[in-house]
Structure formats: structure tokens, C-alpha cells
């Protein structure tokens, strides 16, 4: 079988870790850093995060684009994406586990009133609040895909009253499933803690807005681990000011890194994490990519191929 050439491009770099992983897994693979590509015509596949506009179109024989993340909005930003080339998401069980751990931890923090006690501690205030039982806490998950489904199952195991919302109808054990436009309002009305695990597409951009917050129970919490583009930032600040929302945990932002002077950094009701809910780890993700490259060579399809029309 012909030797495959895979070009790598990511602002986060870590080329060496990927190279070491592929050397062990696929010794025949020619794995090249984008700066070292001497013949674009020899590149079969590309693995990337946030490729610059037109870069992918510069490979005349490209047969696969492997996203370095579960999301692909960073690739489809490229208005010159070569539409005939399959785009495959990164679906790594280790990342799914990381996401369920992260969201579970943040849901628990909000559920147990941790932000309130930290604020009370700062002013020396001893004021116990009656805790709610997990069965009485309604958690809503926007997006019931790979990550949303696993996260919902983890929260169900803990005992939360879990609902989810997706584009197409779903039937998941012990999760109240809503879908489509008609399901949005009843889903929001029962979301004491709302978790965003949607992909960023033209249909979901700005979905975390004043209109959405107004349909949630007063004092609800928000956890955004989807994308910064889902959130209308000014609407979040207004909802926290008015008390419509009580707390927000934000892992993703319109501009990353979050600018130094951004009001989120110092807001007493916002927790900021630097896009770390589920980080791509070459040690585990290389196994997934190796299988996707094997599929390319074998002429098989990819279960995690992106539908370019819907954008996820």
C-alpha cells in the first residue's frame, strides 16, 4: 500500500508529541509539519486546528481533513474549504470522559452552592443554605451528541433530573428528551442549570442570549463548554446583573485567549477556565487518527465524518 503523507498544522503546536505517537503506531506514515511540506501535491491528509483561509485548498490531492478537535467550526471558518474533501471530527473516548468529568464537577459546584460560600468566606459571613437534593435539581443539556449524551448519562448516575435538547428526536434512558424549535421553550423552562454542548453553526450561533435566559427559571446557572460564539456576552452580563441567572461557568470565549481587560475575568459570578474542558491529547487521540487514516487507505467511510451542509 502507498505510503501516506499527513501534514500537521496547529497554533498549539505539540508536533513532537504527535510525531512520537505516530512513530510507534504507524511507522510507515510520513508525518510532516506544515512548514516542512516541500511538495503540496504529495499530501494525502491534513490534521489541523484553525487552518488559515485557503491553506487546505493548496493541496491538490488532499483526500482527508482530520480536525484536531471534536468541533469543526475552526476549519469551516475557511471560506475556501475544498468541499470535495471529507472532514472528520475527533471523537476520542478519553476526551468524552474528560468532558463528562469537567461538566459533572461544575454542575456539582453550582448544585452545592460553592460559589455562594466562596463569596461569603470573602466577607466572613457564616450563613448556611438548605441544600437541594440532586433529584430536585433539573439539569438541561443543549446538544445530545457524543459529549452531551455521555454527560447526561453521568449526571443521571449521580441522581440529577436530566433533560437534553437536540435537532432530531432522541430516546435516552432516564433523560427527558426535547428536540427542535418546538422543544426549546419547555426544555429551557426546566433547566435550573443549563449546559451548552452544541457545535457552533449558523443555526446555534448566539443561542445563549437574553431571549433564552428569560425562558429559564429565575436564578438558573449556565455552563458553556460549547463555543464562545454560542454566547451573547453582553446578554450574560445583563442576566447576571438582574438575577435572571445566578452563576456562569465559561470555558470558551468569543476571543481566545480571553482579552486581559475583559469584564468576565473579574466578575464575581463568573468562573473562567481557559478552554480546557476536554483537551486533545496526542497519546489517546493518535489511536483515533490512526484508525481514520487506515480507513482512508482501505477506502472505508468514517463514522465521524462531518456533514458540510449542517456544519457538524
Name the site residues for ligand NAP (rule: CB under 6 A).
Answer: 69-71, 99, 143-148, 165-168, 197-201, 203-204, 225-227, 251-252, 275, 277-278, 312
Check residue 47 for interaction with ligand GLV (CB under 6 A): no
Residue 71 as a binder of ligand GLV (CB under 6 A): the answer is yes
226 binds, among ligand NAP, ligand GLV, none (CB under 5 to 8 A by kind): ligand NAP
Sole residue written with cell 443549563 = 194
Q: How far is the CB of 308 from ligand NAP (least distance, A)?
A: 13
51 scored as a contact of ligand GLV (CB under 6 A): no
- Residues 36-64: b if buried by 16+ CB within 10 A, e if exposed: ebeeeeebbbbbbbbbeeebbeebeebeb
Q: Is 228 in the site for ligand GLV (CB under 6 A)?
A: no
Burial of 280 (0-12, 13-18, 19+ CB in 10 A): buried
Among candidate residues 97, 190, 262, 275, the one labeled active-site is 275
The answer to whether 133 is a known catalytic residue is no
- Please tell me whether residue 282 binds ligand GLV under the rule CB under 6 A: no
Quote the radius of gyration of the chain (alpha carbons, Å): 21
**Residue 251 touches which of ligand NAP, ligand GLV, none (Cβ within 5-8 Å per kind):** ligand NAP
Based on the shown chain and the rule CB under 6 A, indicate whether residue 70 belongs to the binding site for ligand GLV: yes
- Which of these is catalytic: 227, 262, 269, 295? 227
**208 beta partners:** 231
Q: Which region among 20-28, 65-73, 187-195, 302-310 touches ligand GLV (by CB under 6 A)?
A: 65-73
Q: Is 227 among the catalytic positions?
A: yes
Separation CA 46–CA 28 (nearest Å): 16
Rounded CA-CA distance 68/50 in Å is 9
Q: Counting contacts by CB under 6 A, is residue 143 touching ligand GLV? A: no
Using the rule CB under 6 A, which residue among 48, 59, 69, 154 binds ligand GLV? 69
Cis? peptide before 257, omega within 30° of 0: yes
Please give the Cα distance from 280 to 26 (Å, whole number): 19
Dist. CA 188–CA 51, nearest whole Å: 35
Asked if 221 touches ligand GLV (CB under 6 A), the answer is no
Active site residues: 227, 275
Amino acid at each position: 500500500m502507498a505510503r501516506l503523507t499527513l501534514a500537521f498544522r496547529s497554533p498549539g503546536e505539540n508536533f513532537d508529541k504527535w510525531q512520537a505517537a505516530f512513530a510507534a503506531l504507524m511507522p510507515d506514515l510520513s508525518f510532516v509539519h506544515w512548514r516542512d511540506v516541500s511538495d503540496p501535491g504529495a499530501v494525502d491528509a491534513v490534521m489541523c486546528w484553525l487552518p488559515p483561509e485557503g491553506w487546505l485548498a493548496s493541496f491538490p490531492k488532499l483526500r482527508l481533513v482530520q480536525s484536531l478537535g471534536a468541533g469543526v467550526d475552526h476549519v469551516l471558518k475557511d471560506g475556501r474549504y475544498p468541499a470535495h474533501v471529507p472532514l472528520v471530527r475527533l471523537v476520542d473516548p478519553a476526551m468524552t470522559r474528560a468532558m463528562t468529568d469537567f461538566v459533572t464537577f461544575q454542575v456539582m459546584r453550582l448544585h452545592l452552592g460553592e460559589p455562594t460560600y466562596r463569596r461569603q468566606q470573602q466577607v466572613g459571613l457564616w450563613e448556611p443554605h438548605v441544600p437541594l437534593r440532586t433529584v430536585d435539581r433539573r439539569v438541561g443539556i443543549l446538544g445530545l451528541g457524543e459529549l452531551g449524551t455521555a454527560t447526561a448519562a453521568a449526571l443521571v448516575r449521580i441522581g440529577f433530573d436530566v433533560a437534553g435538547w437536540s435537532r432530531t428526536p432522541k430516546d435516552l434512558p432516564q433523560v427527558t428528551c426535547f428536540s427542535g424549535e418546538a422543544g426549546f421553550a419547555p426544555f429551557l423552562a426546566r433547566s435550573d442549570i443549563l449546559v451548552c454542548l452544541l457545535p457552533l453553526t449558523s443555526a446555534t450561533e448566539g443561542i445563549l442570549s437574553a431571549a433564552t435566559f428569560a425562558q429559564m427559571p429565575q436564578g438558573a446557572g449556565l455552563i458553556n463548554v460549547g463555543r464562545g460564539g454560542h454566547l451573547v456576552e453582553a446578554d450574560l452580563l445583563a442576566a447576571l446583573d438582574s438575577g435572571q441567572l445566578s452563576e456562569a461557568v465559561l470555558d470558551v470565549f468569543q476571543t481566545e485567549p480571553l482579552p486581559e481587560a475583559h469584564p468576565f475575568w473579574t466578575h464575581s459570578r463568573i468562573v473562567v477556565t481557559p478552554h480546557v474542558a476536554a483537551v486533545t491529547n496526542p497519546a489517546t487521540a493518535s489511536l483515533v487518527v490512526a484508525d481514520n487514516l487506515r480507513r482512508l487507505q482501505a477506502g472505508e467511510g468514517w463514522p465521524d465524518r462531518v456533514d458540510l451542509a449542517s456544519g457538524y
